[in-house]
Amino acid sequence: MASRLVVEDVHAGYGAVRVLHGVSVEANEGETVVLLGTNGNGKSTLIKSIMGMVAPARGAIFLELDGKRIDLVGRSTEDIVNLGIALVPEGRRLFPKLTVEENLLLGAYRRAARRDIKRNLDSCLEMFPILQERKRQLAGSMSGGEQQMLAVARALMSAPRLLLVDEPSVGLAPILVSRVISKIQELKDRYQLTVLMAEQNFNQATKIADRGYIIVHGRIEFEGASTQALSEHELVKRFYLGV
Amino acid sequence: MKKGLPLLIAVGVLLAALVATRLVGNRYLYFAGYVIFQYVVLATAWNILGGYTGYVNFGTAGFFALGAYTATVLILAFKAPLPVQIVAGGLVSAVLGLGIGYLTLRLRGVFFSIATLALALVLQTFVMNWEYVGGAKGVSIIRPAAFPPFASYVEFLFFVMAALAVVSAMAAWWIENSWVGRGLAAIRDNEEAAECMGVPTLRLKLLATVVSGCFMGVAGAPFPYYVTLVEPVSAFSLDYAVNSLAMPMIGGTTTWIGPIVGAILLSTAQQVATVTISSELNLLIVGIVLVAFVLLAPQGIVGLVQRLAGRRRA
């Protein structure tokens, strides 16, 4: 099933504060697209707009499924999850007082995912052996890296075709960031996912990205057709590489 | 086995209640038993919203009294039979739950609690000034005649309340073990995360307020025949709000059995105290026990037992 996520000229914000000023982004089937930007430039707002948690004032967000256009603006988050889009939220947002297993089961809340819940749970636990060990432990009592793994695994429980990842590196030690990133790559290959990842850790993100965008003050300042193009761009040099 | 067990317990409780009406002669015990079962219903109902979902309702008395006054109106106007009163009381309180839920559930935490408290006060003021149901001085209700196999109408009320307790416990059990309960637990733990996962948070919260309100109204509907003098001060008594919150807290809020354990223990203690010492002590007992539990066993009796059992296994 060919699918494509398109964000077209989206303006969005919170009350009087405008955060996004005409952002256009695309993620094609099977791609890993990275959205680069430092704090406060609108990455999370864009992700939230896609998930229906922030309503854009203007612009279109749609999913193309086999040539059919499905608009996401105006839909509830629940509907959007039902269409096969899953989110690994910023700061993980686990259910700290529920067990690892309960967290995973909640990832499969959408109706279509409930049917295959047993199989999905098994394959999640196989992909993340650490979660198998900690199945009965409270999610809040795990380390940051384990929690991030759980957040990724939980998103996969809904058997999505499109995975949105919002800053997986926040609050993690560099070695763990690298582990989480390579896990995302591994999952993408295994499940043929399309991944849209917001990240500020340039070096890690470009390890797995096919291409990407640089977002500055709510505008896409640069669209790199390859990671090569991204790393050579002067904005990246200025913001991330310190040269 | 695990699925059949609750049903077996339910049938067992009902049979026991029926057998008790054959064996027990002391009529006071039916009055006391009625109150205990009534609190099982109220605590269970409160827990569906307060325990499973994490939204604290201070307005139990409002929902309860609405059920009672719905029944009163039905008696005065149509002499409606008790089952009709119970269904109507449940429906009206469910609609109130839907209304208050729709108006306030977009607000989180404490705002919801304040709104429920205000709701009970508004309803009480309204009833105080409603002449048809007797206003502040209340209205006398005459119980229908007893019919076999029950020796008195109070025995019948006792049996009805036992049945309602069983039904509410089964509803709570079902919710807890379904996707609804899983979603409610997600809301309680982290509402924002629940939303991210596609859990329909508003719809589930509305469902919880409706079911919770409905059972509170159901618990209140037999009240007119029980007391035979319905007046606002006792129907809107603070006891209902405090007890139905304290009982799940003491028993444990995360399982269906918690509120039942809390309701049985606390209301039995209150009944004993009423007979032996004074009815003024009731709320004092609740207060002391609640403080003790918050300090010593914040997960309630069920949590305490689970912790002890876990330690033994480890």
Q: Does the pLDDT value for residue B21 go beyond 80?
A: no
Task: Name the DSSP letter for residue B203.
Answer: H
Q: Does B298 touch chain A (CB under 8 A)?
A: no
B223-276 pLDDT tens trace: 999 999 999 999 999 889 999 999 999 999 989 999 999 999 999 988 888 888
Three-state DSSP state, A97: coil
C-beta atoms surrounding B149 within 10 Å: 11
Q: Does B192 touch chain A (CB under 8 A)?
A: yes
pLDDT of amino acid B161: 95
Residues of B in contact with A109 (CB under 8 A): 179, 182-183, 186, 197-199
Task: Name the DSSP letter for residue A139.
Answer: G
In contact, B216 and B259? CB cutoff 8 Å: no
**Residue A116's Cα: distance from chain center in Å?**
22
In contact, A156 and A190? CB cutoff 8 Å: no
B139-173 pLDDT tens trace: 999 999 988 888 889 999 999 999 999 999 999 99
Average pLDDT over residues A141-154: 90
Residues of B in contact with A98 (CB under 8 A): 185-186, 189
Q: CA nearest B198 in A: which residue?
A: A78
Q: Do A109 and B182 touch (CB under 8 A)?
A: yes
Closest among A20, A11, A24 to A217, alpha carbons compared: A20
Domain ranges of chain B: 4-238
Question: How would residue B3 be classed by pLDDT, with cut points 50, 70 and 90?
Answer: low
Task: Name the DSSP letter for residue B144.
Answer: P
Q: Does the pLDDT value for residue B50 go beyond 90?
A: yes
Residues of A in contact with B180 (CB under 8 A): none
Which range has the worst mean pLDDT, A111-115, A143-147, B85-89, B121-125? A111-115
Query: A80: distance to nearest CA of chain B, Å?
Result: 8
B267-312 pLDDT tens trace: 998 888 888 887 777 778 888 888 888 888 888 888 888 888 877 6
Of A77, A107, A110, the CB nearest to B195: A77
The residues that bridge with A60 in the sheet, in sequence order, are A8
Kind of pairing between the strands at A194-199 and A32-36: parallel
Torsion of CA A102, A106, A112, A118, to 10 degrees: -10
pLDDT of amino acid B156: 92
Query: B198: distance to nearest CA of chain A, Å?
Result: 4
For the record, the structure tokens of B96 come out as 């109130």
Average pLDDT, chain A: 88
Average pLDDT over residues A153-171: 89
Q: How far apart are CA A113 and CA A151, in angstroms?
A: 17
Closest among B313, B308, B271, B306 to B36, alpha carbons compared: B271
Report which of residues B4 and A135 the model is more confident about: A135
Burial class (CB in 10 A: 0-12, 13-18, 19+), B260: buried
Query: A9: distance to nearest CA of chain B, Å?
Result: 24
For the record, the structure tokens of B88 come out as 């109507």
Query: A95: distance to nearest CA of chain B, Å?
Result: 5
In contact, A193 and A160? CB cutoff 8 Å: yes
Q: Between the CA of residue B76 and those of A84, A154, B140, B214, B231, what are the distances in Å?
A: 56, 56, 10, 22, 14
pLDDT of amino acid B298: 83
pLDDT of amino acid B189: 93
Q: What is the ipTM of this complex?
A: 0.86
Average pLDDT, chain B: 90
Task: Name the DSSP letter for residue A83.
Answer: T
> Looking at beta carbons, which pairs linking A178-182 to residues 24 or more positions away fall under 8 Å?
A178/A204, A178/A207, A179/A145, A180/A145, A180/A148, A180/A149, A180/A152, A181/A205, A181/A207, A181/A208, A182/A207, A182/A208
Query: B60: distance to nearest CA of chain A, Å?
Result: 27
Residues of B in contact with A93 (CB under 8 A): 190, 192-193, 196
In sequence order, the 6+-apart residues with CB closer than 8 A to the CB of B141 are B72, B75, B224, B225, B227, B228, B229, B230
pLDDT of amino acid A170: 83
pLDDT of amino acid A242: 56
What is the maximal distance between C-alpha atoms in chain A?
52
Closest among B294, B13, B17 to B154, alpha carbons compared: B17
Residue type, B132: Y
For the record, the structure tokens of A169 come out as 């590196």
Question: How would residue B176 be classed by pLDDT, with cut points 50, 70 and 90?
Answer: very high
Residues of A in contact with B196 (CB under 8 A): 51, 53, 77, 87, 89, 93
pLDDT of amino acid B283: 78
Q: Which residue carries 């006391």 as its tokens? A: B32
Q: Does the pLDDT value for residue A243 go beyond 80?
A: no
Q: Is the dihedral of CA B208, B213, B216, B222 positive or negative?
A: negative
Q: Does B238 touch chain A (CB under 8 A)?
A: no
Q: Does B190 touch chain A (CB under 8 A)?
A: yes
**Residue A128's Cα: distance from chain center in Å?**
18
Report which of residues B35 and A242 the model is more confident about: B35
In contact, A8 and A50? CB cutoff 8 Å: no
B95-105 pLDDT tens trace: 999 998 888 87
Task: Name the DSSP letter for residue A47.
Answer: H
C-beta atoms surrounding A177 within 10 Å: 21
Q: Does the pLDDT value for residue B313 go beyond 60?
A: no
Q: How far apart are CA B30 and CA A142, in angstroms?
A: 51
pLDDT of amino acid B312: 65
Task: Name the DSSP letter for residue B145.
Answer: P
Burial class (CB in 10 A: 0-12, 13-18, 19+), B79: exposed
Q: How many CB pairs under 8 A join A and B?
A: 59
Query: B190: distance to nearest CA of chain A, Å?
Result: 6
For the CA atoms of chain B, what is the radius of gyration? 19
Residue type, B60: T
**Residue A37's Cα: distance from chain center in Å?**
14
Q: How far apart are CA B96 and CA B88, in angstroms?
A: 12
Question: How would residue B19 be classed by pLDDT, with cut points 50, 70 and 90?
Answer: confident
Closest among B286, B236, B250, B287 to B117, alpha carbons compared: B236
pLDDT of amino acid B1: 41
Torsion of CA B260, B264, B265, B270, to 10 degrees: 140
pLDDT of amino acid A240: 64
Q: How far apart are CA A17 and CA B3, in angstroms?
A: 53
Q: Do A94 and B190 touch (CB under 8 A)?
A: yes
